[in-house]
Amino acid sequence: MTYSKEIFSQAYQLMNERRSKADTLAQKHTEEIYSKYPEAESISRQLASCSISAAKAVLRGGDVKEQLGLLADRSMELQARQKAILTSEGYPADYMEPHYFCSACKDTGSVEKDGKTIYCPCFLSLLKECACEEINRLSPLKLSTFETFSLDYYPKESTPDTPSPYLRMSRMLAYCKEYAKNFNGFGKSILMRGATGLGKTHLSLAIANEVLEKGYYVVYVSAPSILSKLESSHFDYNSNEEEHLIQTLCDCDLLIIDDLGTEYISQYTKTAIYNIFNNRLLKNKPMIINTNMTIRELESTYSQRFASRIMGECDKLDFLGNDIRAMKKN
């Protein structure tokens, strides 16, 4: 994936903070042990002396192998003695060593593989996390939960033509809770349809919050905002920003697109939304799409192919009831 310089900068800053925190704690532990057990400090000086002697032996030449072997044996003896001091006093044997977030790269962000230096998987994960957070910075991801979703606003009465909104929404609430509970980063997408103010955004954000708690990467965007930003980047010839945004939308674990159909419709936006949806389907990565549009309106606005794919690939949740936002204002 291609990321912006800002995302790399954020990721490296977090990586450096992790490493600094581990090093600082190790230094604190070391000073504690040295103050209590002077022999431990003496051993550390002897270990450092062994390392210096090994380097000098290499520079001098001669029977380097034998000299290094003797120094290695001495170093092992000293390390064993130091660990014995720690464990005998109730400390872990590695109490004075840094405990990095990632043992593979020691919080440097790079590892060696097949003679090459590559990004560590932990750093790639951090890049992804920073990219998602950048998009979500202004989104209301923390404002809605299942606990704050009330069924009291939905009428219990039904008619021959219309089922009880209360019963319908009870089933959809249970479905959304189960979806969030079983989320694993792959599987079914959801199409939430219905008029404004019926709870589509609330339930999609409640799912997002549960999924975030499980450690997955979630991106929530409104269709007008993200498509406007993509189109602006495209026609300003800012290909790096456009690519960065599209790949973040395609690669996050769960993508939520709110208010689909309220954006400015152009050939670019129609193509962009289809490509994002199709890309995620190919990767088996789920989406939640919220819209006020009917299937016919989706067909006429975008394309029959797009509407057909949505209907075939998504679980459909049709929201019923009255505008909750309006009721809350009264």
256 beta partners: 220, 288
128 domain-assigned: no
Which residues of the chain carry a pLDDT beneath 70?
A: 1-4, 54, 57-58, 61-64, 66-68, 135, 138-143, 238-239, 323-330
Q: What pLDDT does residue 14 have?
A: 93
CA 243 vs CA 139, 196, 230, 239: distances in Å: 21, 32, 9, 6
Regarding whether 99 and 143 lie in a shared domain, the answer is: no
What is the count of structural domains for the chain?
2
Give the 3-state secondary structure percentages of the chain, helix then strand then coil, rounded to 5.
Answer: 60, 10, 30
Regarding whether 152 and 55 lie in a shared domain, the answer is: no
Regarding whether 182 and 91 lie in a shared domain, the answer is: no
Per-residue pLDDT tens over the stretch 276-329: 999 999 999 999 999 999 989 999 999 899 999 898 999 999 998 776 666 666
Regarding whether 156 and 88 lie in a shared domain, the answer is: no
Q: For residue 132, give the amino acid letter.
A: C
Q: What pLDDT does residue 3 have?
A: 64
The range of the structural domain enclosing residue 213 comes to: 138-329
Regarding whether 215 and 295 lie in a shared domain, the answer is: yes
Q: What pLDDT does residue 43 have?
A: 87
Q: What pLDDT does residue 297 have?
A: 92
186 domain-assigned: yes
- Judged by DSSP in three states, 94 sits in coil
Chain position carrying tokens 């009428």: 155
The answer to whether residues 169 and 321 touch, using CB atoms and an 8 Å cutoff, is yes
Tally of CB atoms within 10 A around 132: 23
CATH number of the domain within which 177 lies: 3.40.50.300
Q: What pLDDT does residue 287 have?
A: 95
Q: What pLDDT does residue 1 have?
A: 45
In 3D space, the residue among 15, 315, 22 whose CA is nearest the CA of residue 176 turns out to be 315
Regarding whether 69 and 187 lie in a shared domain, the answer is: no
- Judged by DSSP in three states, 9 sits in helix
Regarding whether 118 and 20 lie in a shared domain, the answer is: yes
272 domain-assigned: yes
65 beta partners: none
Q: Which two tokens stand for residue 224?
A: 């007008």
Regarding whether 151 and 221 lie in a shared domain, the answer is: yes
258 domain-assigned: yes
200 domain-assigned: yes
Regarding whether 160 and 271 lie in a shared domain, the answer is: yes
Regarding whether 101 and 31 lie in a shared domain, the answer is: yes
pTM beyond 0.85, yes or no: no
Regarding whether 304 and 178 lie in a shared domain, the answer is: yes
Regarding whether 300 and 178 lie in a shared domain, the answer is: yes
Q: What pLDDT does residue 128 have?
A: 80
In 3D space, the residue among 57, 81, 83, 82 whose CA is nearest the CA of residue 69 turns out to be 57
